[in-house]
Structure 1
Amino acid sequence: MLRPMLAAPMYVYLCLIYIGLEVIHGRVWARTEVSEGLPMLSYNLPLRAKHNAHTSIYRLLGANIKVTNAVHGKVDFELDIMKEHTNRLKILHGGTIASMVDLGGSLAVASTGLYNTGVSTDLNVTYLSGGGKVGDKITATAVCDKSKLNLAPAIGKTLAYTSVTFRNSKGELAARGSHTKYVTHAVKAQDEPFVPPTGAEIADDV
C-alpha cells in the first residue's frame, strides 16, 4: 500500500514539470523575452499533446493552459475553465489551483534560465474567493521571489522561493500560493549539455 501512495505524487509532479517547461505560447520559450537566456529549444504543442494524451495531468491542464507573458523571474499564465477543472458545486476545484501553483512555481524558476527546475520541498495554497465556473478564465502570475544580493530575481544556491497569485474573471483575488523548490542539482546541471528528448520536434524559428 505504501509504494502507490508515494509514487502517485511524484508521478503528478513529473508530469507537471514536463508540461510546465513545454507550454509557452504553444512552444517552449519560443521568442519570448526570456528565451535569450534559456536553451534555444522548442517543441510543437500539438505533437506534445499527442505524446502526452494518456496522462491525466496533461488532460487536466496542458491543453487549456496558456502562458501570456514571460520575463526573467516572472510568468503570467491563464486557464480556460472546463468541466474537468470543477468540483461538485460546479466551480473551480481547489485541487486545480494547487496544481497550477506547482506548475507556476516551476515556470517562474525556469524563467530565470534553468532548464531543470529542481524538486518541490513545500507547497501552500490560500483560497480567498471563487475561481470561476465553466467558461470563465482564471489568470495567474508566478514570481521567483528569491533574490541574491538584492538584485533582480535569482535562484539561491539551495532553494528557490516562488509565489503565485490568481484572479478570477471579475478581477478578484481568488487565491495565493507559495512553492519552494530544492534547486542545488538543477543549478549544477546547467553546466551539462542539454539534449532534446528522442524524437522531439524542434521549431524552425528558434
Structure 2
Amino acid sequence: MVMAKRLKGGSEEYNIDEATKEWHGRGAVGTRLYNAFAVAGLRVDAIDPGRARFSFTVPPRLTNGRKHMHGGAVASLVDLAGSAAFFAGGSPATGVSLDITVSFLGAARANEEIEIEAKVLGIGERTGCVTVEVRRKSTGEVLAHGRHTKYLAVSSKL
C-alpha cells in the first residue's frame, strides 16, 4: 500500500490507490490530478491582447530535494501560460505543442512567489509561437525563459 500526504498540505495520510479510484470515478483523472498537483494556486494577474501574466506561490510539493522548484513544474507553467497567451492573441484553439524549450537561469524556493508572463511572438495560419518568462516576484530576476511553438489549425486531425 502506497501512502502519501494530502495534496492540500495537510498532515493526514491517505492511500494513493483509493484516491486514484475516487478521481477516476469522477472522470477526467489526468486533468483533476494535474490541476490539484501542479497548478492549484495559480492566479491570473493580467490578460491583454497577445499577453498573459500569472502569479504563483511555489508549493513545497513542487520542489526537489534542495527545496528549489522542480524543472518539470517550471516547464508545465511555461506550457500553460503559453497556451493562455495564444487565446489572448486571438487563436480559436490552444493547439498541439510542437516544441517547448526552457532555459533555467535561477531557482525559486518553496513558498516563494513567482510571476509567469507569456507573450505571443506570432500566430500564423497553422502555427504560433510564444515566449514565456518566469521571474522572482520580489526582485524581477528572470529564473527561466521559455519558448513554446504550437500547431493551431482548428480543422487538424492530429
TM-score by length of 1: 0.58
Aligned mates of 2:79, 2:55 — CA distance in 1: 14
Aligned mates of 1:69, 1:127 — CA distance in 2: 24
Greater fraction of residues in helix: 1
Other-structure match for 1:143: 119
Measured on the aligned residues, the alpha-carbon RMSD in Å equals 2.1
Contact 1:125 1:178 in 2 (8 A): yes
Percent identity over the alignment is 32
Query: Deviation at 1:53?
Result: 7.9
Other-structure match for 1:158: 126
Secondary structure at 2:154's aligned position in 1? helix
Other-structure match for 1:5: none
Aligned mates of 1:84, 1:177 — CA distance in 2: 22
Aligned mates of 1:183, 1:58 — CA distance in 2: 23
Given the superposition, is the C-alpha separation of residues 52 and 65 from structure 1 closer, same or farther in structure 2, using an over 3 Å criterion?
A: farther
Other-structure match for 1:183: 152
TM-score by length of 2: 0.74
Greater fraction of residues in strand: 2
AA of the residue aligned to 1:134? A
Contact 2:103 2:145 in 1 (8 A): yes
Query: Deviation at 1:112?
Result: 1.8
Other-structure match for 1:67: 44
AA of the residue aligned to 2:149? T
Gaps of 5+ in 1: 1-49, 147-154, 189-206
Matches for 1:16-27 after TM superposition, within 5 Å: none
Other-structure match for 2:3: none
Deviation track 1:108-139 (CA, whole Å, cap 9, x = no partner) reads 10112334211000000000011x22211110
Aligned mates of 1:113, 1:156 — CA distance in 2: 11
